[in-house]
Amino acid sequence: MNVNPKKTVMIITLLFASALFSFAEDIVMEDNVPFSRIQRIDWNLAEVKTNSSVITIDRSKAQREIYSIRFQENSMVRGRGANNLFFAPYTTSANNFLSIRKVAGTYMVPIFETENFTEYEYFRHLERVYRWEFRDWKLKLYTYNENKEETILEFIPIYK
């Protein structure tokens, strides 16, 4: 059997490139996109913003994504808290309205949580989401904290 190394490399490169570009088409590149473009992408919480503070989520100690979210087309949202997997139904409508209902999931004691933002707080914020926005390559979920202060959960896409 005679194998041409150049031809083999070219075929492998073409296969790899097509796989890369099929993933890339899911990555959102522009602002003000329909919610259907937000779905099927894994998002990782990067910051929690209020008028008085900004909490940056440091993943360096965790060695993995924490506080992630993915909106599925079947009106279910799934993701990860500190150690627990969660899921919940959600609804959307006009004017970027988004509502996530009661979060359910596994119940393990968190081995790792960020210092300033707990898994419990993350789940409660998700249950209070009322609006979404996509701007500057970030998914922003508008919610409020226990003091009724507007809070923005800012997510970045997870590139795998």
User: pTM for this structure?
Assistant: 0.77
**What pLDDT, in 10s, does the model give residues 16-71?**
444 434 444 455 556 678 899 899 899 999 999 999 899 888 766 555 668 999 99
Domains of the chain with CATH codes: 30-157 (2.40.128.270)
Query: Among the ranges 4-8, 55-59, 134-138, which has the highest mean pLDDT value?
Result: 134-138
Which residues, other chains included, contact 5 with Cβ-Cβ below 8 Å and sequence gap of 6+? none
Tens of pLDDT along 28-37? 556 678 899 8
pLDDT range class, residue 146, cuts 50, 70, 90:
confident
Would you give the distance in Å from CA 1 to the centre of its chain? 48
Q: For residues 43 and 45, what is the distance between their CA atoms, to the nearest angstrom? A: 7
